[in-house]
């Protein structure tokens, strides 16, 4: 089964994705892949760093190439986190990938703000924390590997406002597109992560 995780910045795509990994899904996070390109200072990374930092979207051409290279093994149960983000990407994906279900994580804007501004990520193992909801035991250190935890470059008020604007501008058509195909499941993303995971499991029958 191939699943898409859809939702605004901070809706919990990455958090849910980690749990789904544990039950056999192979997750592909376009945001994580792009951040790695930026960290490695590759040609692509240098080209997209500013775009990402200010919260804009990377071009469809780059994104479609990137995702096409990731989806190779048809026997895997894929989980796409962060793709598609607009209707062109959704249509393009259809050409070589069978989308079975789309999980639409629904969370109010004011909650999203606290989640994003409070998020900290471990520099080494990439574990996520949140100073408001899931603070680390030791200040500014990862509970898992003790490395420093840092703020993502696009997790500031100005970039978040652009990211939200882009999301609300493009999301409606994508939601409609999958709704018409009866593939969309709207989930209350403001609940506890374990409850969200259990609901997804039940609704998607696995």
The 3-state DSSP class for residue 35 equals: helix
Of the pair 1, 31, the CB lying nearest ligand AP5 is at 31
Q: How far apart are CA 48 and CA 41, in angstroms?
A: 10
**13 flagged as catalytic:** yes
Of the residues 70, 77, 88, 128, which one makes contact with ligand AP5 according to CB under 6 A: 128
By CB under 6 A, tell whether 196 contacts ligand AP5: yes
The minimum distance between CB 13 and Mg ion, in angstroms, equals 5
The residue among 143, 94, 86, 99 whose CA lies nearest residue 120 is 143
Q: Which among 152, 170, 186, 191 is annotated as catalytic?
A: 152
| Options 35, 85, 101, 120, the catalytic residue | 85
The phi, psi pair for 136, rounded to 5°, reads -70, 160
Residue number, nearest CB to ligand AP5: 31
- d(Cα 193, Cα 198) in Å, to the nearest integer? 9
Interface with ligand AP5: number of residues (CB under 6 A): 35
Q: Which does 10 bind (CB under 5 to 8 A by kind): Mg ion, ligand AP5, none?
A: ligand AP5
E-strand stretches of the chain: 3-6, 26-29, 78-81, 101-106, 119-122, 128-130, 149-150, 184-188
Site string for Mg ion, 4-43 (x = CB under 5 A): ---------xx-----------------------------
Which of 13, 101, 115, 120 is catalytic? The answer is 13
152 is catalytic: yes
Residues in the chain: 206
Q: Which residues are the active-site residues?
A: 13, 85, 119, 152, 163
């Amino acid at each position: 089964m191939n699943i898409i995780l859809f939702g605004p910045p901070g809706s919990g795509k990455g958090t849910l994705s980690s749990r789904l990994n544990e039950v056999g899904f192979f997750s592909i996070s376009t945001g994580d892949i792009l951040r790695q390109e930026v960290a490695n200072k590759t040609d692509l990374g240098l080209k997209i760093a500013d775009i990402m930092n200010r919260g804009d979207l990377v071009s469809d051409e780059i994104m479609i190439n990137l995702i096409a290279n990731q989806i190779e093994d048809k026997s895997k149960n894929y989980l796409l986190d962060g793709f598609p983000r607009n209707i062109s990407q959704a249509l393009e994906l259809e050409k070589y990938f069978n989308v079975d279900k789309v999980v639409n994580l629904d969370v109010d804007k004011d909650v999203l703000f606290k989640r994003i501004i409070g998020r900290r990520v471990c520099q080494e193992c990439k574990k996520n924390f949140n100073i408001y909801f899931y603070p680390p035991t030791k200040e500014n250190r990862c509970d898992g590997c003790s490395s420093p935890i840092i703020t993502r470059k696009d997790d500031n008020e100005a970039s978040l406002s652009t990211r939200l604007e882009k999301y609300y501008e493009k999301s409606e058509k994508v939601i409609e597109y999958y709704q018409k195909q009866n593939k969309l499941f709207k989930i209350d993303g403001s609940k506890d992560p374990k409850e969200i995971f259990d609901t997804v499991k039940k609704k998607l029958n696995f």
